């Protein structure tokens, strides 16, 4: 996809100005740092509506197909491209991020391209501040080698439960800190994606003890690299070998768990499952029943492929003393196999499994499946086929390239679909929490009480038991329980009593709203508009903005200055309302 497609795209700011719901006359004004949205002064004071009774219902709220259709009213406006970029390539903007992005070029398209290139080359980004922050935490496992992790946290004599869990716990805390502070935001976004794609439950003893290796070397080490390499590293990791039982997959007793999910979740995807069907043709010989691609090879898989692949992976195990991958020929199935119409001759040992990984990683259906999932994360729940196919073409063509995945991600981020689709997705709890703490410039430190609130939202880190990873569609995160817990977590984060807390509470995240707001901003309208701009980087729909102003005014004149006491009492709660508003949930 070339950037030139952006030149014909309607200007975001023009869109905004033409909408009666929007207040900002131009994106340039909107993005001028420190500026208060220009429409603010135009809002006339109105008598405050009675708060004793909640507003009357809106007739449209019970549209018959809430989950999968979009009502015209209330659909979010397309934000400026820079806001889209920071919400998808990063976990939302920190203070100053939008200004930095604006300085990267003369047009939105140029800025996006520069930002994407910057983020695709993380080694060139100075991340010293974040590194120092993590170094100050006193973690001891993040730098250990695979063997050292195994020795200290898995097989050590009388290793305690805490010691077993330590690598996973430190990785979890570091992941939060990086999401909040690392300048290599795309790496963090993709790390979350690949953890979800190659999901492993992190809190079992074999996985937790070696978790640093899985996170640091296997996933992060490959996320801008080559998919086949990553797939192989995953297949040979202790985390995956134990999680999907391949450690006990032997010739005498095959265990198909890994092979099945390798096909269904890691490579071809369930969308390319032909189902239970025989591979015996009418003449009694081998005949794969699935439709064939141009090369004559099956585009879909059947259960027989899984059973044969299971045989190919027999003997793929972990050396009990070192934690390293080991191939045990003694338990390997020696006879020849056929996988996806490809003959795998006898006597090839470890190469049997390697050939299966080659077949799958280099399969056009894998390209489509992986790219659909990437586009789902980076663009929309149901991404258009155009961008999925464009990315899949790159994935397939560059399958041997050492930077294959970098090229794929670039294709997606610079697509016209990336720039023109918004609001067909909401933030998951991790997106929500990270973006909230970033936007609020929270003085965040990991604590168990924070984690307790975080996990209540339903996306506990490294904790999804089934192998498919956390769902990445809006209907999974918009039923009453996730919605309520999201609001509750925000209420807790913005609750005033943690301000400057000490004692047992000293580790809780602290958000100093008053200190971040210029003293000259004193009226409800000014305060609301300052924080809306500050936290969202764009105007809010009028209905949301008015509710924020009404809350801050609490029956007083919204254009008259509030007292210090009034601001202190309500400001944090008002900021929390912006975080809990629909506008902050879109992605």
Among 546, 557, 561, 566, interactor with other proteins by CB under 8 A: 546
C-alpha dihedral (167, 168, 173, 177), degrees to nearest 10:
90
Closest distance to other proteins from the beta carbon of 404 (Å)? 27
Nearer to other proteins, 100 or 546 (CB): 546
Report CA dihedral (112, 104, 123, 446) to the nearest 10 degrees. -80
| Tokens 């014909």, located at residue | 8
Q: How far is the CB of 470 from other proteins (least distance, A)?
A: 10
Choice from 175, 207, 366, 435 touching other proteins (CB under 8 A): 207
CA 104 to chain centre: 25
With contact defined as beta carbons under 8 Å apart, do 462 and 168 qualify? yes
At residue 265, the 3 state secondary structure works out as helix
* Residues between 359 and 418 that touch other proteins (CB under 8 A): none
- Closest approach of Cβ 304 to other proteins, in Å? 10
C-alpha triplet 158, 161, 164: angle, nearest 5°: 85
- Identify residues 423-442 at the interface with other proteins (CB under 8 A): 423, 426
Closest contact distance (angstroms) between CB of 92 and other proteins is: 17
Q: Site for other proteins (CB under 8 A): which residue of 198, 206, 327, 430?
A: 206
Strands 273-275 and 337-339: unpaired
Q: Are 40 and 23 in contact (CB under 8 A)?
A: yes
Q: CB 403 → other proteins: shortest distance, Å?
A: 31
Q: Does residue 71 bind other proteins (CB under 8 A)? A: yes
Two tokens, residue 231: 């797939």
- Stretches 2-10, 229-237, 386-394, 539-547: which one binds other proteins (CB under 8 A)? 539-547
CB 461 within 8 A of CB 179: no
Binding mask of the shown chain, residues 147 to 166, with x at each position contacting other proteins by CB under 8 A:
--------------x--x--
Interface with other proteins (CB under 8 A), residue from 33, 75, 292, 518: 75
CA separation for the pair 525, 551 (Å, rounded): 10
Which of 475, 518, 560, 563 touches other proteins (CB under 8 A)?
A: 475
The residues that bridge with 318 in the sheet, in sequence order, are 325
Quote the crossing angle between the two packed helices 81-88 and 108-120, to the nearest 10°. 20
Q: Which of the stretches 135-143, 288-296, 387-395, 480-488 binds other proteins when contact is defined by CB under 8 A?
A: 480-488
Nearer to other proteins, 119 or 585 (CB): 585
Q: Is 20 in the site for other proteins (CB under 8 A)?
A: no
Task: Count other Cβ atoms within 10 Å, centred on residue 586.
Answer: 19
Tell the smallest beta-carbon distance from residue 85 to other proteins (Å): 22
CA distance 512 to 507: 15
Q: How far is the CB of 315 from other proteins (least distance, A)?
A: 12
CB of 117 to other proteins, least distance (A): 33
Among 28, 45, 60, 143, binds other proteins (CB under 8 A): 60
Least Å from the CB of residue 54 to other proteins: 5
| Binding to other proteins, residues 286-345 (CB under 8 A) | 303
Kindly tell me which residue out of 483, 512, 516, 521 binds other proteins, with binding defined by CB under 8 A. Answer: 483
Q: Which is nearer to other proteins, 122 or 576 (CB)?
A: 576
The residue among 288, 327, 325 whose CA lies nearest residue 306 is 288
548-577: which residues touch other proteins (CB under 8 A)? 548, 550-551, 554, 569-570, 573, 576-577
Tell me how many residues contact other proteins (CB under 8 A): 93
Q: 524-547 burial by CB neighbour count: b if 16+ within 10 A, else e?
A: bbbbbbbbbbbbbbbbbbeebbbb
Using rule CB under 8 A, residue 221 touches other proteins: no
Listed ranges 111-119, 286-294, 345-353, 483-491: which one lies at the site for other proteins (CB under 8 A): 483-491
Task: Tell me whether residue 62 or residue 106 sits nearer to other proteins (CB atom).
Answer: 62
- Pairing, β 273-275 against β 301-302: parallel
Under rule CB under 8 A, which residues in 222-261 are in contact with other proteins?
Answer: 242-245, 248-250, 252-257, 260
Neighbours of 285 (CB within 10 A): 8
Within residues 484-513, the interface with other proteins by CB under 8 A covers 484-485, 487-488, 491-492, 495
| 57 versus 347: smaller Cβ distance to other proteins | 57
Tell me the three-class secondary structure of 317-377, residue by residue: EECCCCCCEEECHHHCCCCCEEECCEEECCCCCCHHHHHHHHHHHCCHHHHHHHHHHHHHH
Please enumerate in sequence order all residues whose Cβ is within 8 A of that of 480, keeping only pairs 6 or more positions apart, or say none: none
Secondary structure letter of residue 246 according to DSSP: G
- C-beta of 29 vs 495, nearer to other proteins: 495
Residue 483, phi-psi category: left (phi > 0), alpha (psi -120 to 50), beta (remainder): alpha
Q: Which is nearer to other proteins, 183 or 266 (CB)?
A: 266
- Residue 542 sits in the site that holds other proteins (CB under 8 A): no
């Amino acid at each position: 996809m070339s950037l030139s497609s952006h030149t014909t795209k309607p200007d975001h700011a023009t869109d905004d100005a033409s909408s009666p719901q929007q207040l900002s006359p131009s994106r340039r004004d909107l993005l001028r740092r420190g500026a208060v949205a220009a429409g603010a002064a135009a809002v006339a004071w109105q008598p405050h509506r009675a708060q004793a009774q909640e507003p009357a219902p809106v007739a449209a709220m019970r549209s018959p197909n809430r989950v999968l259709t979009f009502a015209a009213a209330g659909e979010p406006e397309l934000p400026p491209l820079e806001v889209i970029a920071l919400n998808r390539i990063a976990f939302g903007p920190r203070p100053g991020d939008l200004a930095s992005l604006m300085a990267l070029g003369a047009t939105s398209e140029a800025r996006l391209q520069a930002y994407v290139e910057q983020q695709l080359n993380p080694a060139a980004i100075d991340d010293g501040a974040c590194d120092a922050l993590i170094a100050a935490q006193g973690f001891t496992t993040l730098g250990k080698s695979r063997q050292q992790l195994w020795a200290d946290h898995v097989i050590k004599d009388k290793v305690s439960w805490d010691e077993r869990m330590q690598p996973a716990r430190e990785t979890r805390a570091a992941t939060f800190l990086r999401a909040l502070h690392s300048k290599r935001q795309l790496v963090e976004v993709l790390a979350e994606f690949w953890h979800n794609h190659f999901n492993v439950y992190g809190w079992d003893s074999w996985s937790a003890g070696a978790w640093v290796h899985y996170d640091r070397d296997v996933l992060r080490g490959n996320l801008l690299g080559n998919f086949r390499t990553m797939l192989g590293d995953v297949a040979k990791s202790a985390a995956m070998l134990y999680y999907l039982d391949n450690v006990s997959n032997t010739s005498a007793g095959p265990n198909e768990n890994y092979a099945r999910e390798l096909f269904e979740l890691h490579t071809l995807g369930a969308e390319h499952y032909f189902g239970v069907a025989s591979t015996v043709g009418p003449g009694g010989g081998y005949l794969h029943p699935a439709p064939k691609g141009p090369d004559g090879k099956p585009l879909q898989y059947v259960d027989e492929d899984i059973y044969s692949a299971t045989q190919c992976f027999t003997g793929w195990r972990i050396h009990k003393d070192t934690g390293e991958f080991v191939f045990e020929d003694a338990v390997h199935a020696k006879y020849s196999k056929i996988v996806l119409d490809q003959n795998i001759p006898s006597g090839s040992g470890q190469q049997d499994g390697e050939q299966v990984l080659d077949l799958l990683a280099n399969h056009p259906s894998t390209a489509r499946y992986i790219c659909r999932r990437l586009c789902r994360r980076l663009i929309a729940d149901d991404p258009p086929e155009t961008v999925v196919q464009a990315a899949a073409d790159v994935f397939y063509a560059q399958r041997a390239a050492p930077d294959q995945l970098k090229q794929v991600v670039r294709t997606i981020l610079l697509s016209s679909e990336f720039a023109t689709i918004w609001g067909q997705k909401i933030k998951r709890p991790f997106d929500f929490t990270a973006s909230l703490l970033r936007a609020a410039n929270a003085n965040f430190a990991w604590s168990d009480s924070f984690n307790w609130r975080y996990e209540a939202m339903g996306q506990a880190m490294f904790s999804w038991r089934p192998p498919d990873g956390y769902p990445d569609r809006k209907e999974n995160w918009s039923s009453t329980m996730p919605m309520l817990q999201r609001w509750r977590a925000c209420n807790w984060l913005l609750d005033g009593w943690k301000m400057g807390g000490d004692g047992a509470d000293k580790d809780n995240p602290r958000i100093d709203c008053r200190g971040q707001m210029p003293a000259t901003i004193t009226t409800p309208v000014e305060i609301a508009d300052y924080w809306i701009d500050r936290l969202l980087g764009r105007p809010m729909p009028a209905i949301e903005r008015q509710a924020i102003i009404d809350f801050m005014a609490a029956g007083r004149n919204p254009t008259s200055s509030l007292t210090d006491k009034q601001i202190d009492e309500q400001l944090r709660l008002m900021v929390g309302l912006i975080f809990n508003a629909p506008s902050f949930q879109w992605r």
